[in-house]
Amino acid sequence: MQAILDDITAKVTAMPDKGKVATYIPQLACVDPDQFGICVALPDGTVFSAGDAHTLFSIQSISKVFTTTMALGKLGDAIWKRVGREPSGDPFNSVVQLEMENGKPRNPFINAGAITVVDAIMMGHLPKETIAEILEFVRFIADDNTIAIDEKVAQSELLTGDRNASLAHFMASYGHFKNPVDYVLGAYFHHCSIAMTCEQLAKAALFLVSDGVNLSTGARVVSEQRARRINSLMMMCGHYDGSGEFAFRVGLPGKSGVGGGIMAVAPGKASISVWSPGLDRVGNSHLGTIALEMLTQRTGWSVF
């Protein structure tokens, strides 16, 4: 496995087209695009890493997998009254379906869906309490108490978050929100701003590899059925309007973020995380996707 990762890293870092870093969050525009990391974690917690796998990056929308997992734990299937579980086929920050579908987002991974999930898990608490709870959950599943939020990124998102604010206020206009919109947005921007390394992220995904249990720590995080369902959401909706392309090329449940990270799951086999800040046309890591495509071709880990 180490030889495969070293080879993939050498090949993708030599490619001239590295994609384009996200600029709509100014703090992310400052990240050096010339970085690439990859980590594979086996069910027992053994990790193989290459490239910049120990560099912290902004996990952005990958955090939505963790908040969705928390929402399922707190509300169970009642969460599906508030968000759907269909791919949207639209960009992650699109507003167009919301009006036609009465303010109910298509899935928990588009921005409108993830903002709704935060409202659902907040339950009358203050933003700082909700943020602390999300961070504690991520530290628990990754078995790493050093994981923290990059406050500069959070402030950068807050200052430029007009699109997310409009999505949130639009949904609130249907009477769907139980907490003040500003509180919900504050918690949302902060969980998107969690900083992690490829290695931490691959470990955090281990519960999705082994039917809800992180076998390296023995912790049961969710039921077997729930782990399958979270993986199915990642497969269908994890890359927004690029989800079909990702399934076609990589063949694994995966979740991307505009920080350039992708967390993927090969059920029963391994969790994988890649990071390269340059994005493709729809906002998913350009080199990260190519690397995952190479990895599944060599390992036969595609679920298809």
- Active site (annotated) includes residue 188: yes
Q: Which residue lies nearest ligand DON, judged by its C-beta?
A: 61
CB of 52 to ligand DON, least distance (A): 19
61 catalytic? Reply is yes
Interaction site with ligand DON (CB under 6 A): 60-61, 92-93, 111, 157, 164, 192, 256-258, 283-284
Residue 5 or residue 22: which is nearer to ligand DON going by CB? 22
Active-site residue flag, 166: no
Cβ contact 51:36 at 8 Å: yes
- Helices (H), ranges, 47-192: 63-75, 96-100, 111-122, 127-142, 151-159, 162-172, 181-192
In angstroms, the CA 294 to CA 279 distance is 18
Q: Which of 258, 265, 274, 276 is catalytic?
A: 258
Tokens of 178: 């139980």
The DSSP result for 40-57, as a single string, is: EE-TTS-EEEEESTTS-E
Catalytic residue (one of 31, 40, 63, 188): 188
Our CB check for ligand DON shows the closer of 5 and 122 to be: 122
Least gap, CB of 95 to ligand DON (angstroms): 13
CB of 283 to ligand DON, least distance (A): 4
Specify whether 174 is catalytic: no
How far is the C-alpha of 92 from the C-alpha of 278, rounded, in Å?
17
Q: ∠ CA(184), CA(149), CA(221), 5° rounding?
A: 80
Query: Of these residues, 18, 21, 31, 61, which one is catalytic?
Result: 61
- Helix (H) or strand (E) segment spanning residue 271: strand 270-275
Distance CA 147, CA 205 (A): 14
**Binding site for substrate: residue ranges?**
61, 111, 157, 164, 188, 240, 258
Query: Is 84 or 212 the residue whose CB approaches ligand DON more closely?
Result: 84
Asked if 20 is an active-site residue, the reply is no
Q: Please report, in range form, the residues annotated as the binding site.
A: 61, 111, 157, 164, 188, 240, 258
Cβ distance to ligand DON smaller for residue 231 or 243: 243
CA distances from 253 to 28, 61, 192, 205, 239 (A): 25, 14, 20, 11, 9
Which are the catalytic amino acids?
61, 64, 188, 240, 258
